[in-house]
Homo-oligomer: A and B are copies of this chain.
Amino acid sequence: VRYKITIEYQGTNFYGWQRQDNLPTIQGEIELALKKLTKQNIEIFASGRTDAGVHALGQVAHFDTKETQPQNSKKLAYSLNFFLRDKPITIIDCQQVDENFHSRFHALQRHYKYQIINRDAPIAVGADLYWRVYGSIDYKLMQNACELFIGQHDFSSFRDAQCQGKNPIRIITKLNLKKDGDCIEVNISAKSFLHHMVRNIVGTLVLLGKGTISIDDLRNIIAAKDRRKSGPNAPAHGLFFVGVDY
Chain B residue numbers with a CB within 8 Å of A88 are 124-125, 127
| Chain A contact residue count (CB 8 A cutoff) | 27
Nearest residue (CB) in B for A7 is B124
Of the candidates B81, B90, B125, B240, the one whose C-beta lies within 8 Å of that of A9 is B125
Of the candidates B81, B122, B126, the one whose C-beta lies within 8 Å of that of A129 is B126
Q: Within residues 10 to 62 of chain A, which ones have a CB less than 8 A from any CB in chain B? A: 10, 55, 57
Of the listed residues A10, A77, A85, the one surrounded by the most CB atoms of chain B closer than 10 A to its CB is: A10
B85–A125 touching, CB < 8 Å: no
Of the candidates B87, B121, B240, the one whose C-beta lies within 8 Å of that of A8 is B121
Chain B residue numbers with a CB within 8 Å of A122 are 81, 85, 90
Residues of A at the B interface (CB closer than 8 Å) are: 8-10, 55, 57, 77-78, 81, 85, 87-93, 119-127, 129, 240
Top 6 nearest A-B pairs (CB, nearest first) are A90-B124, A8-B124, A92-B121, A88-B124, A10-B125, A90-B121
